[in-house]
Structure 1
Amino acid sequence: MTGLTKVYGAGDTAVRALDGVSVTFGQGRFTAIMGPSGSGKSTLMHCAAGLDTVTGGSVLLNDQDLTKLSDTALTRLRRTRIGFVFQSFNLLPTLTAKQNILLPLELAGAKPDPRWMTTVIDTLGLADRLGHVPSQLSGGQQQRVACARAMLPRPDVIFADEPTGNLDSRTGHELLEFLRRSVRELGQTIVMVTHDPHAAAYADRVVLLADGRIVDDIENPTADAVLGRLRTLGV
């Protein structure tokens, strides 16, 4: 994305959530976005994922500018080329795990690759949970279903918004390990918003925001390095 600007409101009440942000998220890499509350990290992710409109600048997914697409075209693109994992899981309660996993492809009128589906389900340890509805699954199992749903269409990128926020520490660790493996072993591209330096340490890179601008870019982050930098930002 280049020169990304997002302004909410107008006149004296206008809030500039993003102020000319230019950043590239590398293919086959795991990037974490961090920053103080109100820094613009969630806004950046939502604009990058086509979930929110931009005030200025461009958002390129490979060579396609999301800011130029109609709502219909953007909806189609999100179903197959962009995956989402949210803190609240966002599973449909009346559908089984398998039906939830297949839903984006069905909405797009596409069929899954059986071998890829087996790989994703086996990697996530969901083979014996496919017939269960969300209320019959633990929080960690629900989040794994959400990950499988995001990965099944083989999207260009998966955006994860605080994916461990509703999980206990052990289950959160397992999920982050899976995200890490999906990048290393399956070639997935992941962009994750998090407030947790320990979660960010699973990433290849941490992009730090403050006041709607990128203020640091840390390669091969450690929790201590990220925490130290956040402290200089007053977090």
Structure 2
Amino acid sequence: MDEHTAVGVTDAVKVYGRGESAVRALDGVSLGFAARRLTAVMGPSGSGKSTLMHCLAGLDTLDAGRVRIGRTELTGLSDAALTRLRRDRAGFVFQSFNLLPTLTAEENILLGLRLAGHRPDRAWFTTVVDALGLRPRLRHRPGELSGGQQQRVACARALMGRPAVVFADEPTGSLDSRSGAEVLGFLRASVRDLGQTVVMVTHDPVAASYADHGVLLADGRVAAHLAHPTTDTVLAALTDLGA
């Protein structure tokens, strides 16, 4: 990978099951995800998009092929090394928020750093919190926040360690359209204003339209690339795939 590629995968193969029941979730995928860009990964159900993200992020391992984050190759890393890499180099935003209900918003945002024994950068904390409009909500617990506010807390937590890449897995899947637009707007702004790299798995053509680049998977293979995707071009591409 060159210096402009934040994360990449080469000849990726992932198989679930054995014998006649085996499913090739990834079948020779090679992709590079540009630094300081938002890339949307799309495809029909069962296309391999979630498997790809899990392997890129070190949450799952390939059966063949290579994955790199920056210059670090994940293939062959020990479980402890993978844990450190996920902690120090990756941020995560999931559909289900994954906030601890007994902690305040501020405590949830800082939890990852504190578990790692790192002192938070208060200036960066202020930058992220203000960008997300969370300052009035920092003392609230998740149960006192709307779904959109909870997801913004999750976005802030993902950014606090200044990760090389943020992996967002269906980040608007549990949100209404207005809250989803707020979260997508922030992910877009984190790329534009904060220089973040974001890889987002989504089934939603509207969400994909916030991306700089779109990748479509089908049957575990790369089926198409979309530069500057729009809702209409994504819908047309998915229709061509029979999705």
Q: Give the unaligned 5+ runs of structure 2.
A: 1-8
Task: Give the TM-score normalised by the residue count of structure 1.
Answer: 0.99
Q: Are residue 10 (structure 1) and residue 18 (structure 2) matched?
A: yes
Residue in 2 that maps onto 1:230: 238
Stretches of structure 1 lacking an aligned partner (at least 5 in a row) = none
- The aligned counterpart of 2:38 is 30
Aligned match for 1:59, one of 67, 87, 107? 67
TM-score by length of 2: 0.95
Q: Percent identity?
A: 67
CA RMSD of aligned residues (A): 0.7
Secondary structure class of the residue paired with 1:185:
helix
* CA drift at 1:209: 0.1
Show the counterpart of 1:115: 123
Aligned partner of 1:219 in structure 2 is 227
**Are 1:206 and 1:219, in contact at CA under 8 Å, matched by a contact in 2?**
yes
Q: Is the 8 A contact 1:50 1:74 kept in 2?
A: yes
Equivalent residue runs for 1:64-103 within 5 Å: 64-103=72-111
Distance 1:55 1:49 in 2: 15
SS state at 2:51 partner: helix
1:80–1:104 CA contact under 8 A, matched in 2: no
Once the two structures are TM-superposed, the CA of residue 80 in structure 1 deviates from its matched residue by: 1.8
Alignment map for 1:44-193 (pairs within 5 Å): 44-193=52-201
Counterpart of 1:195 in structure 2 is 203
1:68-124 CA-to-partner distances (Å, cap 9, x unmatched) read: 211111111111210000000000111111111111111211111111110000000
Residue 63 of structure 1: how far off its partner (Å): 0.9
2-structure distance, mates of 1:215, 1:149: 33
Native 8 Å contact 1:48 1:59 kept in 2: yes
Whole-angstrom distance in 1 between the partners of 2:178 and 2:87? 31
Query: Displacement of 1:128 after TM fit?
Result: 1.4
Q: Would you say how many aligned residue pairs link Structure 1 and Structure 2?
A: 235
Q: Which runs of 4+ in 1 moved over 2 A?
A: none
Letter in 2 for 1:112: P
